[in-house]
A = this chain, B = another copy of it.
């Protein structure tokens, strides 16, 4: 298998991106194609012991930054690591692309066939899925690709999410829930109501509306929503988790008794932190495009990049792209 690692993706590129690719090449024995400025990549690779590993470098002189506007980079930076990397996937020279880069830019470039991989036939809008880092590991789609959605988009997200959970996470007949502000039918926006009717008639294992509480307690394997709401759920969760950790730390430091208690309890806090760590669940698969694309967090370290490569391998092996193509037909 040949997997492209965007070496100019993460906030601290190219260091963690290259280190992650080296880790992955060693652990999985597959070929990693590092895409980026070849001089910088050669210098970075020289820091590692790469003897016996299958690592290639593919030159891409331009760099997409986190503040670049997606609409501008598509044509404005045609030799970026994303353009070069996605073209390798489109042309069959690689099986997947892993990047910790600008999500909007990845979406914009990947979706266009001329520069990226294009959409799967019949797909209206690719959706960004994410395995939510809680015990039940529910899949949330769309977690941020499409702010404004139509009911047909949500139906397709549900189909793609079901296929992903079935093939990649081996969940049989995944339960599909529709994120809403109330469980009762008739609750929600017009979008929710119309999408609910489509899902009801879809033949999927549809369990109806779910609220965030039900989502967190694993009432559905696939939770469907528009990208604006999905993004709010992700970001509110991160913000509240951070707020609570900070507040607990502060309160523990308030007196000697709680300081000692906090020190003794530290292993427990560590386990909770690791459990909620997005790095553990890998990256977000971009579903609906004509190739395997996994998007990691901008602040990914080497370990997270390696995990995303591991996920990309499973997605390639599971044949999700072909299954979505058939599912949509």
Contacts and interface: CB of A to CB of B under 8 A. Distances in A.
Interface string A260-278: 1111111111011001100
B244 A232 contact: no
B244 A272 contact: yes
Contact of A148 (B134, B190, B275): B190
A51 interface: no
A253 B138 CA distance: 25
A213 interface: yes
A241 interface: yes
A129 interface: no
9 contacts: A134-B243, A189-B228, A212-B236, A212-B239, A240-B244, A247-B275, A247-B276, A260-B261, A261-B266
Interface string A134-146: 1100000000100
Given A192-B228, A257-B264, A258-B268, 13 more contacts: A147-B188, A181-B227, A181-B231, A212-B239, A232-B236, A236-B237, A241-B244, A244-B244, A252-B265, A254-B268, A258-B267, A261-B264, A265-B265
B212 A235 contact: yes
Interface in A177-232: 179, 181, 186-190, 192, 211-213, 215-217, 227-229, 231-232
Contacts of A242: 213, 216
Given A179-B232, A261-B263, A268 B239 contact: no
